[in-house]
Amino acid sequence: MSSTTPADSGAAPVIAVTGASGRLGGRVAKGLAERGAAVRLIGRDPARLPELTGGSKARIGSYGDEEGVRRACDGVGTLFLVSGHEDPGRVREHQIAVDSALAAGVERVVYVSFLGASPKATFTFARDHWYTEEYIRGSSLRYTFLRDSFYQEGLAGMAGADGVIRGPAGQGRVSAVSLDDVADAAVAVLLGEGHDSAVYDLTGPSALTLAQAAEQLSRFSGRTVTYVPENHDEAYASRASFGAPEWEVEGWVSSYEAIAASELALVSDAVPRLTGRPAQSFAEFLEARPETYAHLRF
pLDDT in tens, 132-185: 999 999 999 999 999 999 999 999 999 999 999 999 999 999 999 999 999 999
Q: Is the pLDDT of residue 11 over 90?
A: no
Domain contains 234: no
CA atoms within 13 A on the CB side of 79: 36
Instruction: Find out whether 6 and 54 touch, Cβ atoms under 8 Å.
Output: yes
CA-to-CA distance for 144 and 192, rounded, in angstroms? 11
pLDDT in tens, 59-102: 898 899 999 999 999 999 999 999 988 888 899 999 999 999 99
- pLDDT band for 10, please (50, 70, 90 cuts): very low
CA-to-CA distance for 231 and 106, rounded, in angstroms? 46
Residue 97 sits in which domain range? 2-148+178-202
Domain contains 189: yes
First to last CA, the chain: 46
Q: Which pLDDT does position 298 carry in this prediction?
A: 58
At position 65, the amino acid (one-letter code) is: D
CA-to-CA distance for 133 and 62, rounded, in angstroms? 19
Domain contains 278: no
Cα–Cα nearest to 157, from 68, 255, 67: 255
Domain contains 284: no
Distance from the Cα of residue 135 to its chain's centroid? 19
Domain contains 53: yes
What is the average per-residue pLDDT within 9-31?
A: 86
CATH code (residue 108)? 3.40.50.720
Q: How many domains does the chain have?
A: 1
Q: Is the pLDDT of residue 3 over 90?
A: no
Q: Is the pLDDT of residue 6 over 50?
A: no
Domain contains 289: no
pLDDT in tens, 285-296: 999 999 999 999
Question: In degrees rounded to 5, what are phi and psi of residue 289?
Answer: -130, 65
Paired residues of 108 in beta bridges: 78, 142
Residue 238 CB contacts under 8 Å (≥ 6 apart), including other chains: 166, 230
CA-to-CA distance for 94 and 87, rounded, in angstroms? 11
- Show the 3-state SS of the chain: CEECCHHHHCCCCEEEEECCCCHHHHHHHHHHHHCCCEEEEEECCHHHCCCCCCCEEEECCCCCCHHHHHHHCCCEEEEEEECCCCCCCHHHHHHHHHHHHHHHCCCEEEEEEECCCCCCCCCHHHHHHHHHHHHHHCCCCEEEEEEECCEHHHHHCCCCCCCEEEECCCCCEECCECHHHHHHHHHHHHHCCCCCCEEEEECCCCCEEHHHHHHHHHHHHCCCCEEEECCHHHHHHHCHHHCCCHHHHHHHHHHHHHHHCCCCCCCCCHHHHHHCCCCCCHHHHHHHCHHHHHHHCC
Q: Which pLDDT does position 76 carry in this prediction?
A: 97
Question: In degrees rounded to 5, what are phi and psi of residue 158?
Answer: -65, -25
CB atoms within 10 A of CB 191: 15
pLDDT in tens, 101-145: 999 999 999 999 999 999 999 999 999 999 999 999 999 999 999
pLDDT in tens, 206-262: 999 999 999 999 999 999 999 999 999 999 999 998 899 999 999 999 999 999 999
Q: Is the pLDDT of residue 7 over 60?
A: no
Domain contains 291: no
Domain contains 100: yes
Q: Is the pLDDT of residue 282 over 60?
A: yes
Q: Tell me what percent of the residues of the chain surpass a pLDDT of 70.
A: 96
Taking the CA atoms of residue 20, residue 53, residue 40 and residue 57 in that order, the dihedral angle to the nearest 10 degrees is 80
